[in-house]
């Protein structure tokens, strides 16, 4: 499969650098080739998803979204993603330490690919890489994956 | 019904039309028949002509057959050719006979037939001759004979005559056909004209009949209507007479007055049915006599007939019915006159007056009873004459005072009145006498035993219809005991008010209608309003506007039902501030259970209430703080866990044993802290307001679920866990899973050396469910029974793992549902954790 060698573009909205690091480790662990943009602030993230119109090459294959963000929360950012036509197809994985049922149902209404609660155990966290890989491959257009 | 009103039907015109129509039909019939006879004759002639032509042709054809056979034989000489000849020969005579018969009725044709017969014979002879010739002399001789042409000429002649016959017949046929056509047309014409004429007649007749029918129907309707009216009128009178409450009998005017009518009431009073009675002489049915003497009385009918006016019956008359039963009656008779003023009968109206008699008797008895009663009551009833002097026997007065008639008569009674009261009484008595008005007074009377008794007096003049005072009737009532009771009541009321005034609470009393009749001084001090302005229902003015409506309705409910009144509301203080008060009021009842008054008190609870609210707010804040704190603490803890693991993973080879041990302590510490935080979260979550406490929960299912959750430890320890049938209750599922999970886990965790045996029981007790979780574990010393329910309170070191929050959660759950939890245990004796849930939070008990 040529997908293995493809370089994915991933948008990470995460304010905790320690989690960003763990996330990179997880993706590496799963063998995902990627380049990423990290936004560590809710307001900035909202600004980005509202106003950006990426070209075909600049499009992101996946967004990983934390819900507890400074300034604006992740649900607002997610709503912004769904409102912008340029991002509306982008799969979003919510990765959060909050497991409040309300947030979960709000997120699911905004079509998230996965809703993951950050696990405290390191190995559990690293296995998230495989989950993200599945999401990337699932959303891959057929013509490329063959 | 007036005969002249019936319209007659004009019969002359209708009859004429009918006769004309019949004539027309007859005429048409005759004409048609005549023509039909003609037509049939012509038709028969035509038939004969047709048959002549056919018979002629047959004869001619048979002759040709014979000739053909002859020719064939002459040429060949073979006999077989003669077959058609001989066959024709046999047919000829019959055919000729037929021809003769057919033409018999036609003379000119008959002559021609005779000629044909002759020629046919000649032809047949010729044929026979030539055949014989052939047989005897051979063909040439025979042929030559034929050649001579004699046979042919004969044949020609036959043909000619036949043609003549046909031509004659054809002519005749044509003539006959033409004649038939004429007849046919004539018939058509007659039929058409006749039909048109008939149609016209028919239309005329229909119109006439229609008019006649219409008139007849009108007539019938009129007849019916007038019949109906008279029937209705009769029915109306019969119904009226039948339904009136009085008995009615009508008679004729003859000497023996025969009955003509008897209504239902009369039937039941006399015992005669109308059927039986009508036609009978009145005095046999209507038998009346004097009630007291029993002598027969003349019926008023006779008098009414004689005098020609309405006659009433004397009183005390009774009617003897057919079966002998007697009824007191009241009756009257009136003559019936026709339009000429002639008396034609009498109507007798009477009614049963036994009820009225009974009422009159009862009244008499009542009066008698009253007189008897007066002498029996404790009140002293007396009468004075019109001048106001006591006169005659006064048993009431005499009995009470011990005075004799001589002593009390005239104004002697005043001797029994207290000296201080005697003169004022006499003065007032004189005034009442002069003004002819009611006398009302109070004075002391010396009883027969010498004791002074307080009495109230009321006397009234009895005035007859002419306005003259007949006598005075008076009543003395001994009110000494009542006065004493009043005095005691007044004293106790004063004492109560004195007590109420000295109390710090606000006290009030209200009457049975809920009107406040007393407020102690604290009210006026608090509200700054005088009693007059807040009494009755005016207290509502100092109630907080938001509380007034509910307050009034709850107060009203208590007044109506007599139930305890209790309400928390705000009163406006004189400085305009509202202060919270708790008010309670009880109903006081008399011996008969009737509410006599309400006694209530209001206590200011403003401070307490505010403190309570503050406390509730503080608790709520604390809970949300604990919730978010434990929640937010999870985050950094996760970092520590993840990265210490990362450290071990990434630098495994570079860490010495000691460093690895340190990292081990870090991860272990974080794991325990995570467990603590998780428990703390669930502890604070128990009080979360948003949770739904009204789910229907089958505790049996909860028990099963908890056993499933603890399956590993149950298997490991070989624990036996059992339960009674548990009830279905209302609450939040999660809460009860937590409750049972913690209790059962604890029972397994704190086990003794023997395998745990755990039982959950449930029973109803004093309006509550009483649950008990009993184990055979290590037990708990009495000193710790309270302590164990505290947050983070643990009795054991880390040798038995736990966060020390499980029982705190249990307590919180039970208390949320207004229950209580405690432990019954001794060290090394096992433990029973008991908790109660008030019934009402539960549904029905599920049978085993």
pLDDT in tens, B418-453: 999 989 999 999 998 888 888 999 999 998 888 898
Name beta bridge partners: B380. Answer: B476
B753 touches chain A (CB under 8 A): no
| Inter-chain contacts counted by CB atoms under 8 A, chains A and B | 29
The tokens for A124 are 């559990």
- DSSP summary character for residue B698: E
Mean pLDDT of B625-630: 75
Chain A nearest-CA residue for B642? A122
Which pLDDT band holds residue A38 (cuts at 50, 70, 90)?
A: very high
Nearest to A122 among B634, B646, B674 (CB): B646
> Are B649 and A121 a contacting pair at CB < 8 A?
no
The tokens for A126 are 């690293």
Query: Does B754 score more than 50 pLDDT?
Result: yes
Number of H helices, E strands in chain B: 22, 24
Q: What span, in angstroms and rounded, lies between the C-alpha atoms of B66 and B54?
A: 19
Query: Does A145 score more than 50 pLDDT?
Result: no
CA angle A114, A117, A119 (to 5 degrees): 125
Show Cβ contacts of residue B840 under 8 Å, excluding neighbours closer than 6 positions: none
State residue B820's pLDDT score. 92
Which pLDDT band holds residue A13 (cuts at 50, 70, 90)?
A: very high
Q: For the residues of B264-329, what is the DSSP string, one character each?
A: HHHHHHH---HHHHTTSBHHHHSEEEETTT--B---HHHHHHHH-S-EEPPSSEEEEPTTS-EEEE
Q: What span, in angstroms and rounded, lies between the C-alpha atoms of A116 and A121?
A: 14
**pLDDT, chain B, mean:** 82
Chain A nearest-CA residue for B674? A120
The tokens for B337 are 């006159």
Q: What span, in angstroms and rounded, lies between the C-alpha atoms of B259 and B251?
A: 4
State residue A2's pLDDT score. 44
A118 touches chain B (CB under 8 A): yes
Q: Using an 8 Å Cβ cutoff, are A112 and A132 in contact? A: no
Q: How far does chain A reach from its first CA to its final CA, in angstroms?
A: 7
Residue to mutate among A122, A125, A128, with most B CBs inside 10 A, is: A122
More confident residue, B843 or A33: A33
Return the percentage of chain B with pLDDT > 90, whole number: 9
Helix, strand or coil, per DSSP, at residue B543: strand
B634 touches chain A (CB under 8 A): yes
Query: Does A138 score more than 90 pLDDT?
Result: no
Query: Does A95 score more than 50 pLDDT?
Result: yes
Which pLDDT band holds residue B798 (cuts at 50, 70, 90)?
A: low
State residue B842's pLDDT score. 43
More confident residue, A138 or A30: A30
The tokens for A34 are 């990627």
Mean pLDDT of B692-720: 89
β-strands B452-463, B343-352 pairing: unpaired
B570 φ/ψ angles, rounded to the nearest 5 degrees:
-105, 130
Q: Using an 8 Å Cβ cutoff, are B679 and B806 in contact? A: yes
A95 touches chain B (CB under 8 A): no
Query: Does A143 score more than 50 pLDDT?
Result: no
Q: What span, in angstroms and rounded, lies between the C-alpha atoms of B567 and B570?
A: 10
Q: What span, in angstroms and rounded, lies between the C-alpha atoms of B623 and B518?
A: 48
In this predicted structure, which of B497-511, B569-583, B809-823 has the lowest mean pLDDT?
B497-511
Show Cβ contacts of residue B808 under 8 Å, excluding neighbours closer than 6 positions: B683, B789, B790, B791, B792, B793
State the smallest CA–CA distance between residue B503 and chain A in angstroms: 56
Nearest to B458 by CA among B430, B472, B432, B438: B438
What is the model's pTM? Answer: 0.39
Q: Up-side HSE of residue B623: CA atoms within 13 Å toward CB?
A: 15
Nearest to B639 by CA among A16, A98, A24, A95: A16
Residue to mutate among B630, B633, B634, B642, with most A CBs inside 10 A, is: B642
Q: Using an 8 Å Cβ cutoff, are A54 and A86 in contact? A: yes
Name beta bridge partners: B320. Answer: B287, B326
Which pLDDT band holds residue B545 (cuts at 50, 70, 90)?
A: confident
Q: What span, in angstroms and rounded, lies between the C-alpha atoms of B683 and B669?
A: 21
State the smallest CA–CA distance between residue A45 and chain B in angstroms: 22
The tokens for B292 are 């007291």
Q: What span, in angstroms and rounded, lies between the C-alpha atoms of B650 and A126?
A: 13
State the smallest CA–CA distance between residue A135 and chain B in angstroms: 24
Q: What span, in angstroms and rounded, lies between the C-alpha atoms of B475 and A12?
A: 110
- Phi-psi group of B324: left, alpha or beta (phi > 0 → left; psi -120 to 50 → alpha; rest → beta): left
pLDDT tens track for B495-537: 888 877 777 778 888 888 888 888 888 888 888 888 888 888 8
Q: What span, in angstroms and rounded, lies between the C-alpha atoms of B515 and B509?
A: 8
Q: What span, in angstroms and rounded, lies between the C-alpha atoms of B318 and B301?
A: 16
| Residue found under tokens 């503050």 | B614
CA angle B483, B485, B486 (to 5 degrees): 65
Q: What span, in angstroms and rounded, lies between the C-alpha atoms of B730 and B724?
A: 19
Nearest to B643 among A18, A98, A123 (CB): A18
Show Cβ contacts of residue B177 under 8 Å, excluding neighbours closer than 6 positions: B46
Q: What span, in angstroms and rounded, lies between the C-alpha atoms of B657 and A129?
A: 31
State residue B691's pLDDT score. 66
B540 class by beta-carbon count within 10 Å (0-12 exposed, 13-18 middle, 19+ buried): middle
- DSSP summary character for residue B479: -
Query: Does A142 score more than 50 pLDDT?
Result: no
B312 φ/ψ angles, rounded to the nearest 5 degrees:
-95, 165
Q: What span, in angstroms and rounded, lies between the C-alpha atoms of B586 and B563?
A: 8
Interfacial A residues in 59-78 facing B (CB < 8 Å): none
Q: Using an 8 Å Cβ cutoff, are B46 and B89 in contact? A: no
Q: Using an 8 Å Cβ cutoff, are B586 and B595 in contact? A: no
> Are B642 and A97 a contacting pair at CB < 8 A?
no
State residue B757's pLDDT score. 93
Name beta bridge partners: B249. Answer: B262, B348
State the smallest CA–CA distance between residue A55 and chain B in angstroms: 37
Chain B nearest-CA residue for A96? B635
Query: Does A102 score more than 60 pLDDT?
Result: yes
ipTM of the complex: 0.78
B638 class by beta-carbon count within 10 Å (0-12 exposed, 13-18 middle, 19+ buried): buried
Interfacial B residues in 711-750 facing A (CB < 8 Å): none
Which pLDDT band holds residue B314 (cuts at 50, 70, 90)?
A: low
| Residue found under tokens 């905790």 | A16
The tokens for B756 are 């745990």
Nearest to B635 among A22, A25, A97 (CB): A97
Q: What span, in angstroms and rounded, lies between the C-alpha atoms of B150 and B152?
A: 5
B371 touches chain A (CB under 8 A): no
Query: Does B4 score more than 60 pLDDT?
Result: no
Chain A nearest-CA residue for B648? A122
The tokens for B70 are 């002859």
State residue A141's pLDDT score. 55
B645 touches chain A (CB under 8 A): yes
Query: Does B374 score more than 70 pLDDT?
Result: no
Query: Does B2 score more than 50 pLDDT?
Result: no
Query: Does B600 score more than 90 pLDDT?
Result: no
In this predicted structure, which of A93-102, B232-241, B249-258 has the lowest mean pLDDT?
B232-241
A8 touches chain B (CB under 8 A): no
Does an H or E element contain B527, and which?
A: helix B521-527
The count of other CB atoms within 10 Å of the CB of residue A67 is: 23
Chain A nearest-CA residue for B675? A120
Q: What span, in angstroms and rounded, lies between the C-alpha atoms of B640 and B658?
A: 19
Q: For the residues of B37-54, what is the DSSP string, one character each?
A: HHHHHHHHHHHHHHHHHH
State residue A146's pLDDT score. 31
The tokens for B360 are 């009159």
Q: Using an 8 Å Cβ cutoff, are B390 and B359 in contact? A: no
Q: What span, in angstroms and rounded, lies between the C-alpha atoms of B631 and B624?
A: 10
Which pLDDT band holds residue B377 (cuts at 50, 70, 90)?
A: low
Name beta bridge partners: B558. Answer: none
State the smallest CA–CA distance between residue B638 and chain A in angstroms: 5
Nearest to B445 by CA among B382, B493, B507, B386: B382
Q: What span, in angstroms and rounded, lies between the C-alpha atoms of A117 and B610?
A: 42
> Are A122 and B641 a contacting pair at CB < 8 A?
yes
| Residue found under tokens 């201080």 | B420
Query: Does A93 score more than 90 pLDDT?
Result: yes
State the smallest CA–CA distance between residue A111 and chain B in angstroms: 26
Question: What distance lies between CA B326 and its chain's CA centroid?
Answer: 49
A102 touches chain B (CB under 8 A): no
More confident residue, B501 or A46: A46
Does an H or E element contain B822, and which?
A: strand B821-825
Chain A nearest-CA residue for B670? A120
Nearest to A120 among B642, B646, B649 (CB): B642
Contacts of A18 in chain B (CB under 8 A): 639, 642-643
Burial state string for B680-712 with b = 16 or more CB within 10 A and e = fewer than 16 = bbbbbbbbeeebeeeeebebbebbeebbeebee
Question: What distance lies between CA B607 and its chain's CA centroid?
Answer: 59
State residue A1's pLDDT score. 44
State the smallest CA–CA distance between residue A51 and chain B in angstroms: 32
For A92, B301, B329, the CA distances from B259, given in Å and listed in that order, are 114, 11, 19
B642 touches chain A (CB under 8 A): yes
The count of other CB atoms within 10 Å of the CB of residue B647 is: 19
> Are A125 and B642 a contacting pair at CB < 8 A?
yes
Nearest to B645 among A98, A118, A122 (CB): A122
Helix, strand or coil, per DSSP, at residue B766: coil
């Amino acid at each position: 499969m040529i997908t293995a060698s493809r370089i994915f573009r991933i948008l990470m909205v995460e304010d905790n650098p320690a989690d960003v690091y763990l996330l990179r480790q997880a993706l590496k662990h799963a063998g995902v080739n990627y380049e990423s943009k990290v936004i560590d602030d809710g307001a900035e993230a909202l600004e980005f998803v509202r106003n950006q119109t990426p070209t075909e090459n600049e499009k992101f294959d996946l967004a990983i979204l934390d819900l507890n963000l400074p300034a604006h929360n992740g649900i607002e950012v997610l709503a912004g993603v769904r409102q912008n036509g340029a991002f509306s197809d982008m799969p979003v994985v919510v990765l959060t330490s909050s497991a409040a049922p309300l947030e979960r149902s709000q997120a699911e209404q905004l079509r998230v690919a996965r809703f993951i609660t950050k696990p405290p155990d390191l190995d559990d966290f690293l296995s998230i890489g495989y989950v993200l890989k599945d999401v990337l491959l699932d959303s891959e257009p057929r013509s490329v994956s063959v | 019904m007036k005969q002249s009103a019936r319209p007659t039907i004009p019969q002359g015109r209708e009859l004429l039309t009918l006769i004309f129509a019949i004539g027309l039909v007859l005429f048409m019939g005759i004409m048609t028949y005549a023509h039909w006879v003609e037509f049939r004759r012509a038709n028969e002639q035509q038939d004969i002509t047709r048959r002549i032509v056919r018979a002629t042709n047959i004869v001619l054809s048979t002759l040709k057959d014979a000739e053909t056979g002859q020719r064939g034989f002459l040429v060949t000489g073979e006999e077989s050719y003669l077959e058609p000849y001989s066959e024709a020969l046999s047919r000829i005579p019959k055919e000729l006979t037929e021809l003769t018969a057919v033409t018999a009725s036609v003379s000119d044709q008959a002559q021609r037939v005779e000629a044909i017969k002759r020629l046919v014979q000649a032809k047949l002879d010729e044929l026979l001759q030539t055949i014989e010739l052939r047989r005897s002399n051979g063909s040439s001789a025979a042929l030559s004979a034929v050649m001579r042409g004699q046979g042919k000429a004969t044949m020609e002649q036959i043909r000619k005559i036949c043609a003549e016959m046909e031509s004659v017949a054809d002519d005749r046929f044509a003539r006959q056909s033409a004649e038939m056509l004429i007849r046919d047309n004539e018939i058509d014409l007659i039929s058409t004209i006749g039909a048109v004429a008939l149609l016209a007649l028919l239309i005329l007749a229909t119109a006439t009949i229609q008019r006649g029918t219409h008139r007849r129907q009108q007539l019938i309707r009129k007849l019916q209507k007038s019949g109906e009216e008279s029937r209705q009128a009769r029915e109306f009178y019969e119904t009226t007479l039948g339904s009136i409450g009085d008995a009615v009998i009508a008679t004729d005017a003859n000497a023996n007055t025969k009955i003509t009518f008897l209504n239902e009431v009369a039937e039941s009073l006399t015992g005669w049915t109308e059927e039986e009675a009508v036609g009978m002489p009145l005095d046999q049915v209507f038998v009346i006599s004097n009630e007291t003497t029993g002598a027969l009385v003349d019926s008023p009918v006779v008098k009414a007939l004689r005098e020609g006016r309405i006659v009433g019956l004397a009183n005390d008359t009774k009617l003897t019915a057919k079966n002998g039963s007697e009824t007191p009656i009241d009756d009257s008779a009136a003559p019936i006159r026709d339009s000429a003023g002639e008396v034609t009968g009498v109507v007798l109206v009477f009614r049963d007056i036994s009820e009225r008699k009974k009422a009159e008797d009862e009244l008499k008895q009542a009066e008698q009873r009253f007189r008897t009663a007066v002498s029996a009551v404790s009140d002293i009833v007396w009468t004075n004459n019109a001048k106001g002097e006591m006169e005659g026997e006064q048993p009431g007065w005499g009995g009470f005072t011990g005075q004799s008639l001589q002593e009390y008569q005239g104004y002697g009674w005043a001797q029994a009145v207290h000296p201080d009261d005697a003169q004022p009484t006499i003065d007032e008595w004189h005034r009442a006498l002069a003004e002819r008005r009611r006398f009302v007074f109070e004075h002391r009377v010396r009883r027969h035993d010498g004791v002074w008794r307080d009495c109230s007096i009321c006397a009234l003049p009895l005035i007859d219809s002419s306005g003259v005072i007949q006598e005075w009737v008076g009543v003395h009532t001994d009110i000494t005991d009542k006065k004493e009771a009043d005095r005691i009541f007044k004293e106790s009321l004063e004492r109560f008010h004195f007590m109420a005034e000295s109390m710090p609470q606000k006290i009030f009393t209200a009457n049975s209608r809920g009107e406040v009749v007393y407020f102690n001084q604290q009210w006026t001090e608090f509200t700054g309003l005088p009693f007059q302005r807040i009494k009755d229902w005016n207290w509502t003015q100092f109630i907080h506007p938001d509380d007034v409506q509910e307050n009034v309705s709850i107060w009203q409910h208590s007044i109506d039902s007599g139930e305890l009144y209790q309400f928390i509301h705000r009163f406006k203080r004189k400085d305009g501030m509202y202060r919270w008060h708790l008010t309670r009021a009880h109903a006081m009842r008399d011996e008969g259970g009737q509410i006599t008054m309400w006694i209530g008190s209001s206590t200011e609870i403003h401070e307490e209430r505010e403190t309570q609210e503050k406390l509730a707010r503080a608790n709520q804040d604390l809970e949300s703080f604990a919730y978010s704190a434990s929640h937010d603490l999870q985050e950094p803890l996760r970092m520590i866990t993840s990265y210490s693991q990362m450290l071990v993973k990434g630098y495994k080879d570079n860490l010495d044993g000691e460093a690895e041990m340190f990292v081990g302590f870090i991860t272990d510490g974080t794991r325990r802290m995570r467990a603590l935080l998780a428990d703390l979260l669930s502890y604070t979550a128990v009080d979360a307001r948003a949770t739904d406490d009204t789910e229907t929960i089958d505790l049996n299912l909860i028990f099963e679920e908890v056993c499933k959750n603890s399956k590993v430890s149950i298997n490991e320890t070989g624990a036996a866990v059992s339960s009674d049938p548990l009830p279905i209750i209302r609450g939040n599922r999660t809460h009860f899973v937590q409750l049972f999970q913690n209790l059962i886990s604890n029972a397994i965790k704190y086990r003794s050396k023997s395998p745990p045996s755990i039982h959950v029981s449930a029973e109803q007790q004093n309006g509550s469910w009483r649950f008990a979780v009993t184990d055979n574990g290590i037990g708990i010393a009495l000193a710790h029974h309270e302590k164990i329910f505290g947050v983070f309170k643990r009795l054991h070191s880390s040798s038995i793992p736990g966060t020390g929050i499980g029982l705190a959660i249990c307590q919180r759950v039970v208390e949320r549902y207004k229950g209580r939890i405690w432990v019954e245990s001794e060290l090394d004796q096992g433990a029973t954790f008991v908790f109660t849930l008030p019934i009402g939070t539960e549904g029905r008990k599920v049978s085993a």
